[in-house]
Amino acid sequence: MANSTRRTSNSGLSRRQIVLAGAAGTITVMAGIRPTFADGKPKVGLVMKSLSNEFFKQMQAGADKFAAENKDKFDFKAVGMKDERDFAAQVDAVENFITQKYDIIVVAPADSKAMATPLAKAVKAGITVVNIDVPLDAGAKKAAGIDLAFFGPDNQAGAKLAGDALAKDLGAGGKVVILEGNPEADNAKQRKQGFMESITEGKLQLLDSKTAHWETEEANTLMTNFLTKYQDIQGVMAANDSMALGVVKALDATGKSGKIKVVGFDNIPPVQPLIKNGKMLATVEQFGAQMAVNGIKYGLRQLAGEKFSGWIKTDVKLVEAKDLS
């Protein structure tokens, strides 16, 4: 069809068209532009994980509100990732904040080890880095030559709160399954550990424990399979509420909701009605909206000369039907 000269050819037309393409592309974004100009106020950047995750949406909403109320004190910009697991994109975001000479970076690391090196670059560039949500790995921090305090919740203790609530409700010998988060995610590992402690202490019987990668749909499929495989499940521990939603749907479909007890984590708005009407037993609030705000506050205090070290624990709280009115 095409002969050999065609392949090596290109056209003047395409050049003009591509120029237009570039122009069109840039015009498209004009609507979304918010220039950031320095005017003496400290610039604060918040780097989060996936914004498709309800928890980070809440975190951003809280931070945006706080920033709007304190416009005179600092400039604020928040960025999230398209995919929670793409930490190269998070590294890009941190590097961009360094280029833009931000004063404070508040970061919820997508990976506790991988983020240490890029954040060390920020520290060396003179930026105050505040680590929230997931602690950076101690070894990785040491290797990167930084010592950062961690402001965040104890995921293991939080999961144990939910697990204990389930253990109390079922009593010794209760048969449970666990739905884990992403196997490589630190908070997923910690939450599973918390659940396992509850199982040991509450003398529960663990039937199975598998990952549904934090996802509602995958949790729904996994739970349906569990229900087929194990006829006598009494309780479900889901490492986040998105998965708990999928579990409740699966129970609804088989008429078992309310009979099989479900606990989750995060206290996202969609689970609250489920807890109220008994389809879920409990979840754990870790105050995501407040976490970023506190991160910014700690950052501003550090910028003013204060020093923090170690683990500054933020609250975790069990949420049951009686807490929601």
Partner 1 sequence: MSERVERVEARKAHVKWDNLLHISMREAGVTVALVLIVLFFSATAPYFATTGNFLKIFVQIAINTVLAAGMTFVILTGGIDLSVGSVLALCTVVGATIMTDERLSAGISITLAFVACLGTGAICGAINGWVCEKWKLPSFIVTLGMLNIASGVARVVSNNSTITGLPQSFVEFGNMIFFGVFPSIFVIAVGVVLIGWFILRFTVFGRFIFAIGTNEEAVRLSGHNPSAIKIAAFTISGLTAGIAAMVYLLRLNVGSPIAGIGYELNAIAAVIIGGTSLSGGKGSIIGTLVGACILQVLSTGLQLLGAEDNVKPIVIGTVIVLAVILDTYRNKFLRAMESRRSDG
Q: Footprint of partner 1 on this chain (CB under 8 A)?
A: 1-15, 17-19, 21-26, 28-29, 31-37, 51, 77, 79-80, 82-83, 85-88, 91-93, 95-96, 98-101, 111-114, 116-118, 137, 139-140, 143, 182-184
Radius of gyration of the chain (CA): 23
- Shortest distance, CB of residue 287 to partner 1, whole angstroms? 23
Tokens describing residue 54: 């309800």
Size of the chain, expressed as the number of residues it contains:
325
- Shortest distance, CB of residue 102 to partner 1, whole angstroms? 10
Nearer Cβ to partner 1, position 65 or 203? Answer: 65
Whole-angstrom Cα distance, residue 197 to residue 263?
15
Nearer Cβ to partner 1, position 31 or 172? Answer: 31
At 287, phi and psi to the nearest 5? 55, 55
Beta carbons of 130 and 164 less than 8 angstroms apart: no
Beta strands 282-285 and 128-132, pairing class: unpaired
- Shortest distance, CB of residue 108 to partner 1, whole angstroms? 15
- Shortest distance, CB of residue 297 to partner 1, whole angstroms? 23
Cβ neighbours of 50 (radius 10 Å)? 17
Nearer Cβ to partner 1, position 38 or 312? Answer: 38
Cβ neighbours of 113 (radius 10 Å)? 16
Nearer Cβ to partner 1, position 3 or 309? Answer: 3
Nearer Cβ to partner 1, position 28 or 325? Answer: 28
From 57, 266, 256, 54, select the one nearest 161 (Cα to Cα). 266
- Shortest distance, CB of residue 154 to partner 1, whole angstroms? 21
- Shortest distance, CB of residue 276 to partner 1, whole angstroms? 32
Whole-angstrom Cα distance, residue 183 to residue 217?
17
* Residue with tokens 């910009």, as numbered in its chain: 77
Nearer Cβ to partner 1, position 160 or 213? Answer: 213
Nearer Cβ to partner 1, position 83 or 252? Answer: 83
Beta strands 317-320 and 282-285, pairing class: antiparallel
- Shortest distance, CB of residue 25 to partner 1, whole angstroms? 5
Beta carbons of 262 and 244 less than 8 angstroms apart: yes
